[in-house]
Chain A
Amino acid sequence: MAVKLVFLGKLADLAGVDERDVEAPLDWQGLLDELQGPIGDAVQQDRTRIALNGEVLADKSALHANSGDEVALLPPVSGG
């Protein structure tokens, strides 16, 4: 199985898809290698958070996702 990447808000526009699978395991460097260009720049911004299986990571560079995990890329919320 793979790691599922989920792109929320405007990050889905930058990625061109809502979600896609990448090879497991996946760490922070591996994520940056997968996301080149504007989406890669956006993910590196401080305001962009990362959640692993629904839990926000305090330090996104400590990401370590295994097969079957879901990694969500979260831009700042714009309010309900």
Chain B
Amino acid sequence: MARDVRLLTQPFSPGQFVGPFTNAHPGLGGVCTFVGEVRSDDAVEALELIHYEKMTLKGMEELADKAIERFGLMGLLVVHRSGVMHVGEPIVLVSAAARHRREAIEAVDYTMDHLKSDSWFWKREKRADGWHWIEPREQDHSDLARWASPEFNAFDLNQGGGLRIKAIPTSQNWR
């Protein structure tokens, strides 16, 4: 089971998925798991994620395939909620199994950034005065830019003199 991608409409327990996923990859060197939950916020009574049947799961599967290929993973598990959620409930679970730790850690970071800003989900919050749609955040787009065309930057570095180094976006420097 190299790729296991699920879209759930009911609450889930991350442990029920991570254990079997890990066991399914004997010989791995590392597993990295991230769980995102509904954050505590006094003003927010509930959170709702809307998905689109024809596109959301398909998009998640395509993203998982890209991550598996990019980081040479042994396996990738992605579980995402849709529907109404309350504080403390898991929203998303990403777990990557790889021969070495860095691939696993980076694959989870990559997958989360793309789930947050490039997947077909629409979010709204319930406050005292009713439901409010959440608009995209600028931060989500800069998070995505971290993963854009590293080949281009390597090319840029090799072709130019010292000055060309300025052309490398600072967002790449985190590495």
* A interface list, Cβ under 8 A from B: 6, 8-10, 12-13, 51, 53-54, 56, 70, 72, 74-80
Contact = CB atoms under 8 A, between A and B. Distances in A.
Interface of B: 36, 49-50, 52, 54-55, 58, 80, 91-92, 115-124, 133-137, 140
Contacts of B80: 80
B166 to A, nearest CB: 31
A75 B52 contact: no
A79 B117 contact: yes
Given A9-B50, A54-B55, A70-B54, A77 B133 contact: no
The 9 closest A-B pairs by CB, nearest first: A9-B122, A54-B54, A78-B123, A78-B134, A79-B116, A10-B133, A80-B121, A80-B115, A76-B136
Contacts of A54: 54-55, 58
A6 B52 contact: yes
Contacts of B124: 9-10
B175 to A, nearest CB: 23
Contacts, number: 65
Contacts of A79: 115-117, 119, 121, 123, 134, 136-137, 140
B54 A51 contact: yes
B133 A9 contact: yes
Nearest to A51: B55
28 contacts: A6-B52, A12-B50, A51-B52, A51-B55, A53-B54, A54-B55, A72-B54, A74-B52, A75-B122, A76-B135, A76-B136, A77-B117, A77-B119, A78-B122, A78-B135, A79-B115, A79-B116, A79-B117, A79-B119, A79-B121, A79-B134, A80-B36, A80-B80, A80-B91, A80-B115, A80-B116, A80-B119, A80-B121
Contacts of B49: 80
Contacts of B121: 77-80
Contacts of A74: 52, 120
Q: Looking at A8, A13, A53, A72, which has the most chain B CB atoms within 10 Å of its CB? A: A8
A30 to B, nearest CB: 21
A8 B54 contact: no
Contacts of A9: 50, 122, 124, 133
B133 A8 contact: no
Given A9-B50, A54-B58, 7 more contacts: A8-B120, A8-B122, A10-B133, A54-B54, A74-B52, A78-B134, A80-B92
